[in-house]
Amino acid sequence: MIDDIKTMMWKEWREYLSAGGNSRRGNLGVIIFVLIVGIVLPASNKGTAFLDSPLPIVLYGCYLPIFVIINVVADAFAGERERHTLETLLASRLSDRAILIGKIAAAVSYGWGLGLVAAVLGAITTNLAHGTGSVRFYPANMVAGIVFFGLATATLASTAGCLLSLRAGSVRQVQQMLGVGVMCVVLVPVIGINLLSKSLRAQLLDKLNQMGANQIFLLILIVLAVVDVILIAVAFARFRRSRLILS
């Protein structure tokens, strides 16, 4: 099973690197994005405070993995269907689980890995641009935040993408649905907080202040992990070879 998953991941990675999703421009876009988030943004910050702020968690643990994964994961099943390779893959000896986990794991490792690369680039850039002589890195809680948030959000984006890709008619449709999904995830809490009465909002902020940043991040991380597990279970349940072969 592990060998089969690794085989599936190898193929997915080869496709990512040979085309970056759907076109050669896809790779260039990803490289430019990683350079902006990993070099330009830390360089434009003042001093080394960037390393201690929550911004790296948002950039490298959430924003970057989601952006790059949306670009490639839509291709997982919808792309294979469009290019008429899915039927042959399904007729191979690979099990349903190996195919599905291999595709999810490939997208997770791609988005998460690039997030970690950009985080290291960010630390190097901060030291080079604003260094005071001694080398500084992210504090331990920030490293843990970048690593675990990156993994959780990459898994969320990859599993949601694979799930949509299983049934979608085209790659573009999956990308559009994922884009709308990301907007909902970002906008719904903001709109929801604004819809609360002033007193409720004050109570909520008060409670969050009492919890502290670490506890808030931990809570969000637990929620993300639970959603990830649910989505993976749904993806397993919805993967039907007989349905895919007819689609």
Partner 1 sequence: MSNLAIQAEHLTRDFATVRAVDDLSLDVPAGSVFGFLGANGAGKTTTIHLLLGLLEPTQGQAQVLGLDTRTQSQRIREQTGALLEQAGLYERLSAEENLRFYANVWRMSVSERNERIKELLAHMGLWDRRAERVGTWSRGMKQKLAIARVLLHRPKLIFLDEPTAGLDPVAAAALRDDLAALAAREGVTVFLTTHNLPEAERLCSLVGVIRQGRLLAVGSPDALREQSGGARVEIVGTGFDDSLVASLRERADIAAVALENDHLLVDLSANDTRAAPIVSAVVAAGGQIEEVRRGKESLEDVFLSLMEDAQ
Minimum gap (Å) between residue 13 Cβ and partner 1: 11
Minimum gap (Å) between residue 98 Cβ and partner 1: 9
Q: Is 52 helix (H, G, I), strand (E, B) or coil?
A: coil
* Lookup: tokens for 41: 């943004």
Q: Is 7 in the site for partner 1 (CB under 8 A)?
A: yes
Minimum gap (Å) between residue 247 Cβ and partner 1: 12
Minimum gap (Å) between residue 238 Cβ and partner 1: 17
Minimum gap (Å) between residue 151 Cβ and partner 1: 26
Minimum gap (Å) between residue 3 Cβ and partner 1: 7
Backbone angles phi, psi at 194, to 5 degrees: -70, -25
**Which one, 22 or 45, has the nearer CB to partner 1?**
22
**Which one, 14 or 172, has the nearer CB to partner 1?**
14
Q: Is 241 in the site for partner 1 (CB under 8 A)?
A: yes
Q: CB–CB of 151/114 below 8 Å?
A: no
Q: Is 2 in the site for partner 1 (CB under 8 A)?
A: no
C-alpha to C-alpha distance for 207 and 224, rounded to whole angstroms: 20
C-alpha to C-alpha distance for 162 and 174, rounded to whole angstroms: 9
Q: CB–CB of 48/126 below 8 Å?
A: yes
Site for partner 1 in 10-39 (CB under 8 A): 10-11, 14-15, 18-19
Alpha-carbon torsion (212, 226, 119, 161), positive or negative: negative
Q: CB–CB of 66/153 below 8 Å?
A: yes
DSSP result, 103-142: HHHHHHHHHHHHHHHHHHHHHHHHHHHH--SS-----HHH
Site for partner 1 in 61-120 (CB under 8 A): 83-85, 87-95
Find the part of the chain contacting partner 1 (CB under 8 A) among 5-13, 35-43, 49-57, 212-220.
5-13
Positions touching partner 1 (CB under 8 A) are: 3-4, 7, 10-11, 14-15, 18-19, 83-85, 87-95, 241-242, 245-246
